[in-house]
Structure 1
Amino acid sequence: PQDLPVDIPESATQTILTIVATSMLTVATFALATMVTAFFGASQTTTPRVVRLISQDRAAQAPISIFIGAFMFSIVGIIALSSGFFTASGRLILFSVTLLVVILVVGALIRWISKISSIGQVGETIQRMELTTSAAFREIAERPLFGCRQSTRAADHGRPLHATRLGFVQNIETGRLQKVAETHDLFIHVVARPGAYVTAARPLVLVSGTIDEDAVNGIREAIVLGRERTFDHDPRFGLIVLNEIAARALSTGVNDPGTAINVIQTDVRILSEWFARMEQTHPEPGHDRVSMVAISPQDILDDAFRPIARDGAGTIEVCVKLFEALETIQVVAPDGFRAPVDRFAEELMERARAAMSHPADIEVVEQAASRVTGGGGAQQR
């Protein structure tokens, strides 16, 4: 339109764009430096394994993206104004959009300040780990064997097939394995679940039937290997990382049993939710030619509590909370966890007796142990 209610001078828009361009470059650089510092702090106060997780936080990445986008918008706007590209109506539109960008930047800056004040903190990191690990356990509850038949290691025999390189199993495409098995008339037993480290001594699968090169390549391509463990299909890794946080908190230099207790309670919530979902879901195996071993209850308990039991055996508060956790698991867990819980409780009581010197402390721990072992742990002297 030729008759505009407002004629925005070119200098006004260019001044605002120049301010935005100058400030956004500084703010984006500062935000990136602050985030890197927060990641380093998180690796020092918790464990380096959490950096990959918190660095994927979209709430932290989005403001930086807005800052960089505002900087690029301002540069392009300044170039277009300087070249005389805009008419009066174009300058009005550019001025309006510039104001919207300024408002968007202010909102992003407020969110960034709120986010950066908590990112990397121990409590916030434990909460993120709980959400991530719970999501992995929900997947395992719905597909505990990834659609395969359940089997034991002793029940399946066949030719061991190894990976061409060392690494951690990150994902298994069981549907692809089923197709390979059907095509070549094979039965495949998956030995290495996600999270397993495969070497020349640890095969990927055991194959029954006549296997050729095409089948070997198809099986290997269906199993994704990587240099590091991931959280997505490997819930045990989440428990391990949580325990690394607790172990650091219990170290002599930190001496923070409260964080260890927080991790214990987090582990109990994660496992309790998993047990509840296991009771609600009854998945049917979809791949009749592929079998897999279920997660061992003993491995779950070891991943969740053994490092804390080892490092916190001399701390009465930690021991009592561990026995309370075992008591809860004994009540809500499936039958397969009963014997491992009893063994773990007896081992924990032995550790506590070896680490504690005051009879009153030992007596308190024995009382907590008796609620798990039915008095057996407390009677052993």
Structure 2
Amino acid sequence: MNKLYTQLRLLYSRITGNIAFYPSVIALLGLFFALFMLYAEERGISKYLIENTPWLVINDADTARTLLSTFIGGIISLMVFSFSMVMLLLNQASSNYSPRILPGLISNKKHQYVLGFYIAVIIYCIIVLLSIEPTENKYQLPGFAVLIGIILGIHVLGAFIYFIHSISQAIQINNITDRIFEVARKRLQTLIEKEKEVSGIENFEDIDGWHGYKSTESGHLNDIAFDSLAKLATDCDVKVKMLVAKGEFVLADVPIVKVSKELNEENQELLQSCFGFSRSEIVRLNYVLGFKQLTEIALKAMSPGINDPGTAITCIDYLTELFALRMLKRDKSYILNKNKVALVSLDTVDFDQLLYFIFASLRQYCKADFVMMHKMLISLYYLKNVDCVDDTYKKEIAEQAHLILDDARAYIKNESDLKKLEEFTDKFDA
């Protein structure tokens, strides 16, 4: 039963994360609404309205067919135009910023809702159009359903205007970086709030004799059923040590977890069912991807073809805020039982590793730019003076400042610029 629950939970996560999920649901709602309206017509809603409020009902079959046919063709044209424009804008964003931001733009739920609404109205109009039969009895014409179709068609025009406004805003670099920052920030805050004082950590210090289990498939480890993993550890009286960080790409037949005791085949299958793999990375599940995307946008902005240092500086500002938040999180994370004893040790990206690789990339592309090197030092100096849960974080920050100065000495030839950077770096040793 627990295995079935785990598989259903991971399946639900995959389905709802698919960009076609919400359009499909809304399209089905359009189909059901059309069938409901036809049922209401059979119950005589148009006859009742003609007798009481005739101005609400269209009682001419040719007019109804013309209107519905026009709406169907017009909405299809709007949909083709809308998403042709989207493809052009996405291609521009990929060229100017980073291809890795495309999944976030495509999966925008607001745009999915608009697409779903387009399809739902098309389906509704087709169903109602097919129900119009040649007859001399005006009461058999689904006049009220046709009126609803007209109202929905007018709302499609409003949705089209909203879509044009939304996509034009979403493609702007300030909104892209702000969205990436907000998603990563929320994920970090969630992880920080979950951290508590735990006991039993010493049980994870020596894992040499533990039994390792390999991945059965490859992909990004985006889903981990933490509740099921903790229940397995409790039921089998074992400790579990993750060897792979959530969001990391895992190859098949590579050890991903170690368990303090050997598990039987049934429990091994249950263990494997706790892990969900996919071929795409998701920022809301992995805050490290937010750091990577902001860094890649900054690097692309500093390339000779783009030459947009303003965007790079904005990205560094966002990275600084995220690093300040990351300094409030410990490098080790655990899943606890009711007694606050650690059952599962999660593998995470350490602060020093994250800091080094982000600033190493920035240093490589900005090493000859005084403004960018100075901006990075300002960012590090700010981080040096914020609160943190581990004093070793600040030592890593000071080391990065000196690495920036080393690169500056090698590539910046202006003595005045070097002197300013050296004077600023001296603050890290104070």
The normalised TM-score by structure 1 is: 0.86
Correspondence for 2:186: 135
Q: Distance in 2 between matches of 1:29 and 1:149?
A: 59
Inter-CA distance 85–150: structure 2 relative to 1 (3 Å threshold): farther
Residue 367 of structure 1 deviates from its aligned partner by 3.0
Correspondence for 1:355: 411
Task: Give the RMSD, CA atoms, in angstroms.
Answer: 3.0
Correspondence for 2:301: 249
Q: Deviations over 1:138-170 (max 9, x none)?
A: 22212359x996569854332332212333322
Q: Are positions 1:94 and 2:140 aligned together?
A: no
Residue 101 of structure 1 deviates from its aligned partner by 1.3
Q: Are positions 1:221 and 2:273 aligned together?
A: yes
Q: Distance in 1 between matches of 2:224 and 2:247?
A: 11
Aligned equivalent of 1:307, options 353, 361, 364: 361
Correspondence for 1:316: 370
Residue 100 of structure 1 deviates from its aligned partner by 1.8
Contact 2:222 2:282 in 1 (8 A): yes
Structure 2 unmatched ranges of 5 or more:
1-47
Aligned equivalent of 1:47, options 98, 101, 111: 98
Q: Distance in 2 between matches of 1:232 and 1:149?
A: 29
Contact 2:180 2:290 in 1 (8 A): yes
Q: Distance in 1 between matches of 2:241 and 2:136?
A: 67
Residue 274 of structure 1 deviates from its aligned partner by 4.7
Correspondence for 1:379: none
Q: Are positions 1:197 and 2:249 aligned together?
A: yes
Aligned equivalent of 2:284, options 232, 240, 263: 232
Inter-CA distance 117–227: structure 2 relative to 1 (3 Å threshold): closer
Q: Distance in 1 between matches of 2:288 and 2:66?
A: 55
Inter-CA distance 372–83: structure 2 relative to 1 (3 Å threshold): farther
Correspondence for 1:27: 78
Residue 80 of structure 1 deviates from its aligned partner by 2.3
* Bigger Cα displacement from structure 2, 341-350 vs 76-85: 76-85
Contact 1:161 1:206 in 2 (8 A): yes
Contact 1:160 1:207 in 2 (8 A): yes
Q: Deviations over 1:294-326 (max 9, x none)?
A: 541112313543311221121111111111111
Correspondence for 2:321: 269
Correspondence for 1:210: 262
Residue 267 of structure 1 deviates from its aligned partner by 1.1
Structure 1 unmatched ranges of 5 or more:
375-381
Correspondence for 1:8: 58
Q: Distance in 2 between matches of 1:343 and 1:274?
A: 18
Q: Are positions 1:126 and 2:182 aligned together?
A: no
Q: Distance in 1 between matches of 2:155 and 2:137?
A: 23
Q: Distance in 2 between matches of 1:152 and 1:110?
A: 59
Could you say what secondary structure the match of 2:284 adopts? coil
Residue 124 of structure 1 deviates from its aligned partner by 2.2
The normalised TM-score by structure 2 is: 0.77
Could you say what secondary structure the match of 2:283 adopts? coil
Q: 2:58 is matched by which residue type in structure 1? A: I
Inter-CA distance 208–284: structure 2 relative to 1 (3 Å threshold): closer
| Paired residues for 1:338-377 under 5 Å | 338-374=394-430
Q: Deviations over 1:231-272 (max 9, x none)?
A: 233211111111111111111222221111111001122233
Q: 1:71 is matched by which residue type in structure 2? A: I
Q: Distance in 2 between matches of 1:12 and 1:295?
A: 65
Residue 204 of structure 1 deviates from its aligned partner by 1.1
Q: Distance in 2 between matches of 1:296 and 1:244?
A: 20
Correspondence for 1:68: 119
Inter-CA distance 86–183: structure 2 relative to 1 (3 Å threshold): farther
Q: Distance in 1 between matches of 2:401 and 2:202?
A: 28
| Paired residues for 1:162-181 under 5 Å | 162-181=214-233
Residue 103 of structure 1 deviates from its aligned partner by 2.8
Q: Are positions 1:288 and 2:336 aligned together?
A: no
Q: Deviations over 1:186-214 (max 9, x none)?
A: 22211212033334795212222233323
Q: Distance in 1 between matches of 2:173 and 2:137?
A: 52
Inter-CA distance 95–256: structure 2 relative to 1 (3 Å threshold): same
Q: Distance in 2 between matches of 1:301 and 1:85?
A: 77
Inter-CA distance 99–227: structure 2 relative to 1 (3 Å threshold): closer
Q: Distance in 2 between matches of 1:203 and 1:43?
A: 35
Contact 1:267 1:304 in 2 (8 A): no
Inter-CA distance 154–182: structure 2 relative to 1 (3 Å threshold): closer
Q: Give percent identity, aligned residues only.
A: 19
